[in-house]
Amino acid sequence: MNYNNKKFRVYENSENGETTMETIFEYKQNGNILTSEYSGGQIVRGHLIGLVDDNGKIEMSYHQINTKGELMTGICFSEPELTDNGKIKLYENWKWTSGEKSSGKSVLIEL
């Protein structure tokens, strides 16, 4: 699975998450290294960096500035699924490493 130059939108997120349907992720991949810049909704600017395994699963860390001016950080594990139309859907389990340090789940869909 290669995520290079793919864009994703948040489809679902836990209530304690900050990304919304307005948040767009732009993925870049070089070998097994994945990076992304993202923004929209409550996110002024965010970045993630991660590793992609042979099955397309992603282990990543992220940091972002929200509209309240706060720096938020976390870790995330994503598992891909191919949809009927050939797009990628990512099922994510994440945890804040800042703030309240709670965890949640989200789903992203390739645009």
> Which residues make Cβ contacts (< 8 Å) with residue 5, sequence separation at least 6?
26, 27, 28
Output the pLDDT for position 1. Answer: 86
Amino acid letter at 95?
Answer: K
What is the mean pLDDT of each successive set of 10 residues along the chain, which is 111 residues long?
96 96 98 98 98 98 98 98 96 97 98 97
Backbone angles phi, psi at 57, to 5 degrees: -70, 145
59, 86 contact by CB (below 8 A): no
Output the pLDDT for position 6. Answer: 98
Longest dimension (CA), the chain: 39
